[in-house]
A and B are shown apart, each in its own frame.
Chain A
Amino acid sequence: MSVCITLVGGAGTILAPLVFDVEAIKKLRTLGICGILTGTLPSATQQNVFLSVPLRLMPEEAMWLYINGHAHFKALPGPTATAVERLLEEESEEICKAAEERLQQSFKLQREYKLEQHRKKLEQLGINQPSKEDHPDSARQSKETKLMEASLFIETPTMSTILTKINDKFGDEQAKIDRLLCILVAQFSNWDNYLLFQALKNEGYVLSPGARFGGKYIAYPGDPLRFHSHLVIRDALHYKNEPLDFLELAAGARLGTTVKKLWVIGAPTRESDAHDSAKTQDNVSFYSVEWAGFG
Chain B
Amino acid sequence: MSKRTANALRYKYPLPVHPLVLPELIVHNPISWAVWLYQYVRQCNALAERISVTITPEGNAFPHIEVRDPTDMMYLWDNGFFGTGQLSRSEPTWFERKQLELSKDTVGGGKQLSLEQITRSRRQQRQEFKQQREKVEAELLALRQQGVITPEEESKVLEREREKLRAYRESHSSLKELPGDDTSLPDDIFDDEGNLRRLEALELLPVEALFLTYALPILDISPKELIDSIISSDDPAALDRLLMHYTAYHHYRSQGWCVRSGIKFGCDYILYKRGPPFQHAEFCVQVLDSEDSKPYTWYASTARVCGGASKTLILCYVTRNSSPEQTRRWAADGKLADVLSSMSVGEVVYRRWVPGRNRD
Contact = CB atoms under 8 A, between A and B. Distances in A.
Contact of B123 (A43, A211, A214, A295): A295
B267 A214 contact: no
Given A254-B265, A254-B266, A254-B305, A248 B354 contact: no
A28 B126 CA distance: 43
Interface in B294-327: 295-298, 300-302, 304-305, 308
A295 B119 CA distance: 10
B19 interface: no
A255 B264 contact: no
B268 interface: yes
Nearest to B301: A214
A107 interface: no
Given A211-B296, A214-B297, A214-B300, A251 B267 contact: yes
Given A255-B305, A255-B308, A295-B126, A215 B265 contact: no
Interface in B126-177: 126
Contacts of A191: none
A247 B78 CA distance: 28
Q: Which range holds the interface residue count of chain A?
A: 20 to 34
B296 A250 contact: no
Which secondary structure characterizes the binding site on chain A?
Answer: helix
Interface string A211-222: 111111000000
Interface in B261-304: 263-268, 295-298, 300-302, 304
A128 to B, nearest CB: 45
Contact of A216 (B126, B263, B264, B297): B297
Contacts of A215: 297, 301
Contact of B301 (A43, A251, A295): A251
Nearest to B308: A258
A247 B301 contact: no
A244 B308 CA distance: 23
Which of B266, B295, B304 lies at the interface centre, i.e. has the most chain A CB atoms within 10 A of its CB?
A: B266
A254 B300 CA distance: 13
A211 B300 contact: yes
The contact size tier of chain B is 20 to 34
B180 interface: no
A258 B268 CA distance: 20
Contacts of A212: 300
Given A211-B296, A255-B305, A248 B266 contact: yes
Nearest to A43: B356
A248 B126 contact: no
B355 interface: yes
B264 to A, nearest CB: 7
A213 B300 CA distance: 8
A270 B306 CA distance: 36
A268 interface: no
A252 interface: yes
Contacts of A213: 301, 304
A293 interface: yes
A201 to B, nearest CB: 21
Contacts of A214: 297-298, 300-302, 304-305
A247 B355 contact: no
B356 A250 contact: no
Interface in A69-95: none
Contact of B302 (A246, A251, A293, A295): A251
Most buried by B among A214, A215, A246, A258: A214
Contacts of A211: 296-297, 300
A12 B302 CA distance: 32
B62 to A, nearest CB: 11
B354 A250 contact: no
Interface in A249-276: 250-252, 254-255, 258
Given A214-B297, A214-B301, A214-B302, 11 more contacts: A43-B356, A211-B297, A212-B300, A213-B301, A235-B297, A247-B268, A250-B264, A251-B267, A251-B301, A254-B266, A255-B308
Nearest 9 pairs of A and B residues by beta carbon: A214-B301, A251-B266, A250-B266, A251-B305, A255-B305, A247-B266, A254-B305, A214-B297, A255-B301
20 contacts: A212-B300, A213-B304, A214-B298, A235-B295, A246-B263, A248-B266, A248-B298, A250-B266, A251-B301, A251-B302, A251-B305, A252-B266, A252-B301, A254-B264, A254-B265, A254-B266, A255-B305, A255-B308, A258-B308, A293-B123
